[in-house]
Structure 1
Amino acid sequence: MDKKLRWGVLGGMSWIARDAIMPGIRKSRNGQIVATASRDPAEARRRHGEEAGVRIMGYEELLSDPGVDAIYIPLPNSMHLEWAMKAAEARKPVLCEKPLGLNAAEVTAMFAAFERAGVPLMESFMYRFHPQHARVREIIDSGVIGEVLEVRAHLSNNMMSPPDPKNVRFIPELGGGVLLDMGCYVVSASRMIMQAEPMSIRGWQKMDSRFGVDVADGAVLEFPVGRMGVVSCSFETTGLGHYSVIGRHGMIEVPRALVLGLGSFAPEALIVTVDKNGRRTEELMPANDHYQLIVEAFGDAVLNGTPMPLSPQESINNARVLDAWALSIREGGDVKIAP
């Protein structure tokens, strides 16, 4: 494929853009960065310089630029809806950071706008593109652990020693809090493994009164035919991102499943399978840059006019679970999740 997708980054100074997605685009076989946007382009040039071949401009200018084929949005959660909608009006395909919206209503409205505009939108769940998850599925399908009855998923990063009040994750007005920031991952992982939608959820939450945001959350999910998911996320514990798949005859542990490794620093994948006799089999997979893999998959779909590898319904369903989790915390008890 000779043609490359010309990317514009709407807010290129965030860490996820600067250290993860933009390096992924640079390494990709089908993409290149041609522009980044800043609220103050002159200040951005002064502080960071200007990369050869990459123009720095304002947000609106980026959206209207005919030399930009697709937009990546890494802005704070509360800004996703506004700028995704403007990108849809400009008929630009968008890869947007998770969570796509603050709730399922926003996510649904965003996809409807992109459908009307005739351009694609996809949520940037990069972990889904790491080969280790396909291997986990192969092990499940082989039958070695039997019927899957439970999945447990956890993601955390210690941001409290000490906390940075300027971090968008601690600002309620910007969609801060661990439920949106990390809860979306553990819900996604549990649904991916179960290959089903949960029917109900019971949630728990720890708030930090200094910032007015949640810093630790947990929940139990009820899946069809008596299966269960246990999920948790935290800003208080250190850098863990894993899931376990518990079957009738054994289990699979994926200790690096949700680790947000960056580029060459991405850790090797490790999959541990335990059979019914307690025998352990460890598979070490080479490091793989899931940020590069997601931008390549997105780019292939845009360039070839094929469906996005993560569907609109996938994102809508994930947002519905997060909504129900939040509702369970507010009201207490189990909350049914709308199909």
Structure 2
Amino acid sequence: MDKIKWGILGTAKIAMEQVIPAIQRSSNGVVAAIASSSGKAVKIASQFNIPHSYESYEDLLADPEIDAVYIPLPNHLHKEWAIKAANARKHVLCEKPAALNTEDVKAMVSACMANDVLFMEGFMYRFHPQHTKVKELIQDNVIGDIKMLHANFSFYMEDRKGNIRLNRQLGGGVIYDIGCYCIHSLRYILEAEPIQMSVIGEMNDEGVDTSASVIMTFPNNVQAMFMCSFDAMLKNEYEIIGSKGSIRVPFAYRPDLNAGKGIVQLVLENEFREYVIDGDQYKFEVEHFADCIQSNREPVSSGDHAISNMRVIDALLEMLI
């Protein structure tokens, strides 16, 4: 099959800085069109040498040449445009979190299924090969039985006035924004769903969560904890503690901030090993989705996974807000 022709809905920073360049680096995809409701489409298309630009999302979806769309729009718009894209028979790569609640994600996934197109939630970290190394160490029983996990994703938000991440109506809040990565990674490592949860957090004057600390119990009494915050220094890591050793991944979610180098640290009773693993996580993400389209197979971050992750987010926000 020819390369997948991508359409980009919007000119969000992540699209400009990460995903458009990643598609252009990929082996099986090209950016064929971009749309913007803010009048920026022509300028961005020229900047990235994108052949077609549209002043409305509807016009891009009407383009018969487009195979798949990437949706980096504000969280509250994901449901609307994922469903419209599905109805236009476009495959959908949607930024995380997939939507604002489980029922909305179910509606998005159902629309994709009804139109025979694929849906994937954009957890790019999952495609860095450092996590494959982590899974290999676990499967080889190097650290024994998993007993505890810790995850931490935080950054200090400098400019808060008018920041979309602090607008509840638009899907703001730290759990939606970066806590979702911690939830996803804990579920991915354990290949299980939490059976009990508790959360404490800090809210701003508008009732938006800016910091949260979560404790989860998984099957076999595995305890998992994570912290996420807009009020603390940049950290993006997880640690897995087993009966014989531990694994720490200090650039778990943003190895691109470490020149693409993932680090996996293994600590045993009398031994320390460190693996440095290069990877282009955004490129691997878009290549995986394009390959799934070409081979007609389900992506690893499928609609069912998106629904399961959102169930956890829903439960935490219900306890917190």
Pick the TM interval, shorter chain: over 0.9
Q: 1:45 aligns with which of 42, 45, 56?
A: 42
Specify the code of the residue in structure 1 equivalent to 2:196.
S
> 1:310 aligned to 256, 276, 301, which one?
301
Seen in structure 2, the aligned counterparts of structure 1 residues 144 and 46 have a Cα distance that, compared at 3 Å, is: closer
Instruction: State the TM-score, normalized to the length of structure 2.
Output: 0.95
Q: Tell me the TM-score normalised to structure 1 length.
A: 0.90
- The superposition leaves residues 299-323 of structure 1 with CA deviations (integer Å, 9 ceiling, x where unpaired) of 0011121222222221111111111
In structure 2, the residue matched to 1:282 is 274
Structure 2: distance between partners of 1:285 and 1:102: 34
Contiguous gaps of at least 5 residues in structure 2 = none
Corresponding letter in the other structure for 1:292? K
Counterpart in 2 of 1:128? 126
Residue 93 of structure 1 aligns with an amino acid whose one-letter code is H
Q: Residue 299 of structure 1: which of 290, 296, 303 is its match? A: 290
> Deviations 1:134-177 (Å, cap 9, x if unpaired)?
10011112222110011111111111x3x232321122211011
Q: How does 1:50-61 map to 2 (within 5 A)?
A: 51-57=48-54, 58-61=56-59
- Aligned position for 1:337: none
Give the equivalent residue in structure 2 for 1:9. Answer: 8
Does structure 2 retain, via aligned residues, the 8 Å contact 1:165–1:171? no
Q: Map 1:168-207; keep pairs closer than 5 Å.
A: 168-207=164-203
Q: How well do the aligned residues superpose, as a CA RMSD in angstroms?
A: 1.6
Cα distance between partner residues in 1 of 2:218 and 2:84: 37
Specify the SS of the correspondent of 2:162: coil
Are 2:221 and 1:226 equivalent residues in the alignment? yes
Partner of 1:336: none
For 1:88, the equivalent position in structure 2 comes to: 86
Q: Deviations over 1:8-28 (max 9, x none)?
A: 0000x2111000111100000
1:278 Cα deviation (Å)? 4.2
Deviations 1:35-66 (A, max 9, x none): 1010133x543587454343210210001111
Name the structure with the higher strand share: 2
**Counterpart of 1:153 in 2: which secondary structure?**
strand
Alignment of 1:92-171 (within 5 A): 92-159=90-157, 161=158, 163-171=159-167
Identify the residue that residue 23 of structure 2 maps to in structure 1. Answer: 25
State the Cα distance separating 1:103 from its structure 2 match.
1.0
CA distance in 2 between partners of 1:56 and 1:48 (Å): 6
Contact 2:195–2:217 (CA under 8 A) maintained in structure 1 = yes
| Percent identity of paired positions between Structure 1 and Structure 2 | 38
Deviations 1:77-116 (A, max 9, x none): 0000011111111111010000001011111111111111
- Of 240, 252, 258, the residue aligned with 2:253 is 258
What is the aligned counterpart of 1:70 among 68, 71, 84?
68
Paired residues, number: 320
Deviation at 1:255, TM superposition (A): 0.5
Distance 2:6 2:45 in 1: 19
Q: Say whether residues 1:269 and 2:269 are aligned partners.
A: no
Contact 1:6 1:31 in 2 (8 A): yes
Q: Secondary structure at the match of 2:232?
A: coil
> Letter of the aligned partner of 1:256 in structure 2?
F
